[in-house]
Amino acid sequence: MAAEKLIDNIYWVGTQDYSRRIFDELVPLHEGTSYNAYFIRGTDKTALVDTDDPKFTHELLGNLQSLNVKHLDYVIANHAEQDHSGSLPQILKAYPEAKVVTNEKCKSYLMDLLPLTEEHFLTIADRQTLPLGGITLEFILFPWAHWPETMLTFAREPKILFSCDLFGAHLADSRIIMEKEREAEILDPALRYFAEIMYPYRDIIARNFPKVLALAPAMIAPSHGPVHADPAYILKLYEEWISPRVKNKVAIPFVSMHGSTEAMVNYLTDRLMEKGIEVKPIQLSGADTGNLAVAVADAATVVVGSSTVLNGIHPLAAHAVYLYNLLKPKTKFVSIIGSYGWGSKMVEQIQAMLDNVKAEVIPPVVIKGFPKAADFAALDRLADQIAESHKKIGLR
């Protein structure tokens, strides 16, 4: 990708990675991703906001050369993770006069991760400014979005917010700027990105969110995905996603070895739908962790469905429960259904894994063998209890 102008004197100079299919060896990438970096040319000084994944350092350097950047005063490091910072050593080699501008905590992390030393840095504090000549950069500490050292950089005069991972999406697209008429295209990739990465920190983000609203940015330029030409849409989405509100929805991640648990899931799904409740079963065999994260993110109730393996939870269900617990979900109610052959400690195992889930437990339905009339009746009662629980918290 060639450098692309956002406005006069501010350019996108990053990389579109169309071929990457997994991130952090965990998150599936259906549409690739981008590593966004931005070059700013003031009348007095120049700055690069973030760098690139080290695999694509040559593209970043090529984009800077295409803009005839012969001198670089500052490299702003909003976040230390290597998909943003990995090209720093090569950038400093190409522009040895540049200083890395970041906060104290990020500086410490960068020195842990990369061959950088104290003299490379210019350390800033929250709300400190850096004049470039005609463009003033303001630094806003925004911890836990999604690392503890994350900060945002705001170009005051053009009102562009360089938001790091916040408001991002894993999406490779040659159309760098997301114009208003296309903004609905960002919903699914932005939601997946939020659910996979930002969701565990939504309460902290919510507390800091007024900082973003007070800036009233005219454009938001994240570190992954398109630039938001009209921030109103993504800001509205985030206000909903970081809220404590849940939907009249039940997510059912499940795995079934011989059809018994699947029959229970299908029956419970039908009974809940009859009661006007949205239901999202997730078959865990070959499941996408992003789909799991999205499904549980706003569900009032999560029901884990599992067959029993050697007296315990099926490994695929255990993996899903572990990830679900890591997300620190806002789920209000949780239950368990499943089947066993000769014995099961599955319920105790699952409950022990859910220490981050502050939800009311609705009595599980775990049966021996294939479900019979009495078992289906127990699932009827479970559906009734879920529906009544939702009504009690105002969900219809």
Determine whether 359 is exposed, middle or buried from the number of CB atoms within 10 Å of its CB (0-12, 13-18, 19+).
middle
Pairing assessment for the beta strands 333-340 and 360-361 based on DSSP bridges: parallel
> CATH 3.40.50.360: which residues of the chain?
247-386
**Domain(s) of CATH 3.60.15.10: residues in the chain:** 4-241
Geometric angle at alpha carbon 117, from 74 and 24, rounded to 5°: 80
Residue 244, φ and ψ in degrees, nearest 5: -80, 0
Cα gap 199→197, rounded to integer Å: 6
pTM value? Answer: 0.95
Q: What is the pLDDT of residues 121-163, one digit of tens each?
A: 999 999 999 999 999 999 999 999 999 999 999 999 999 999 9
User: Cα torsion at 115, 116, 117, 123 (round to 10°)?
Assistant: -160
Which pLDDT does position 343 carry in this prediction? 85
CA neighbor of 297 nearest in space, from 163, 170, 201:
201
Q: What is the pLDDT of residues 219-278, one digit of tens each?
A: 999 999 999 999 999 999 999 999 999 999 999 999 999 999 999 999 999 999 999 999
320-34-123 Cα angle (round to 5): 95
For residue 287, the model assigns a pLDDT of 86
The DSSP 8-state label assigned to residue 144 in this structure reads: T
Q: Which CATH superfamily is domain 247-386 in?
A: Flavodoxin domain (3.40.50.360)
User: β-pairing, 38-41 with 10-12?
Assistant: antiparallel
Torsion of CA 268, 364, 376, 392, to 10 degrees: -60
Contact yes or no for 291/188 (Cβ under 8 A): no
Q: How many residues does the chain have?
A: 396
Q: What is the pLDDT of residues 189-231, one digit of tens each?
A: 999 999 999 999 999 999 999 999 999 999 999 999 999 999 9
Assigned superfamily of 4-241: Ribonuclease Z/Hydroxyacylglutathione hydrolase-like (3.60.15.10)
Give the pLDDT confidence of 319-369 residue by residue, as tens digits.
999 999 999 999 999 999 999 999 899 999 999 999 999 999 999 999 999
Q: Note the pLDDT tens digit of each residue in 30-68.
A: 999 999 999 999 999 999 999 999 999 999 999 999 999
Q: Residue 22: left (phi > 0), alpha (psi -120 to 50), or beta?
A: beta
Q: Which element (helix H / strand E) includes 93? A: helix 88-94
Mean pLDDT taken over the chain: 96
Amino acid at 26: L
What's the rounded Cα separation, in Å, for the pair 188 and 278? Answer: 18
Alpha-carbon radius of gyration of the chain? 24
CA distances from 156 to 7, 48, 129 (A): 14, 16, 9
74-76 and 99-102: which strand pairing? parallel
Distance between CA 188 and CA 193 in Å, rounded?
Answer: 9
